[in-house]
Amino acid sequence: MSRRRSVRALVVVYLKGIFMGAADAVPGVSGGTIALITGIYERLIAAITALDPRALRYLPRLHRRTGRAAFRDALVEMDIPFLMALGLGIATALVTVARLMAYAFETYPAYVAALFFGLIAASAVVLYEYVSLDTPRRVAVAVFGFVLAFVVSGPEVGSSFSNSPTIVFFAGTIAIAGMILPGISGAFFLYVLGQYEYLSNTLTTFTNRLAGLLSGGSVGGLVEPGIVIVAFGVGALIGLFSISYAIRWALANYRAATLTFLVSLMVGALRLPVTDVLDHTSNPNPTVIGTILVVAVLGGVLVLVVDRFTEDIEFS
């Protein structure tokens, strides 16, 4: 492949990463689904599973031409250029959408909750065809998933989760699953765990202060939000090689029960957006109620449109 074609291919991957990141930034459509639509899902999984820390053995020999060549070959073999371009696209979208959501949460909290209700509810409807309640064990799994999500998504529980780096780290390990698994969004887990708004605001604060360095801002201002972002990133990295693999194993070996559990989680978690809508609607006049319903429907339609384009792709 020529250098021009190689650069062009990476730019295309970057753009696909933007679409993945935008999907992962809101509860509903998963980045894994977008990866399926854009035809890079299998390559993404292959690249992730090809990562090999043994490539670091070439680092002490980078001052030699042979060492640099060997290291470059190892990176290409692991498809690191692809992962870097995709990751940069995802990061670009996350930063952009985080800014929009931080503003929306502050200005239109009830409408944001209504949008999330539509996104999550439609996702559960789309995945319902994979639900199986034909055995007592699967019924028990469904009830457990629903009750677990219903309890965790209660306002008294969600508000009890702190925003400490430890909790953020834990949230990162779970949220990453939505980025590589079709059907469920990583942002959904963050929303249920009460970390979504906090992380959106933190990411916006970090990028604002980072940009502020150009106008004489203090580096010290990056420390506090930076610790949160690093904690989430490390958690996501660990989750990528643990929880995500565990879920993929469960799908491979207990597909019906696992999907039933995931869909039950979504249905039970609908308690959270409903509660948020009620808490932030102080004047429930017909106009406000109508707007809330329209926003919820639009969220649901978005998920259904995405599903329309993936109906011929097998969920795996």
Question: Tens digits of per-residue pLDDT, 236-282?
Answer: 888 877 776 777 677 778 888 888 888 888 888 888 889 889 888 88
Q: How far is CA 49 from each of CA 42, 46, 78, 241, 247, rounded to the nearest angstrom?
A: 11, 5, 9, 9, 15
- Determine phi and psi for 65, rounding to 5 degrees: -60, -40
Percentage of residues of the chain with pLDDT beyond 70: 90
pLDDT of amino acid 125: 85
Q: How far apart are CA 13 and CA 156, in angstroms?
A: 42
Whole-structure pTM value? 0.74
Question: Tens digits of per-residue pLDDT, 60-111?
Answer: 888 888 888 888 888 888 888 999 999 999 989 888 888 888 888 888 989 9
* Mean pLDDT across the chain: 83
Question: Tens digits of per-residue pLDDT, 101-133?
Answer: 888 888 898 998 898 898 888 888 887 877 878
Structure tokens at 71: 């290291």
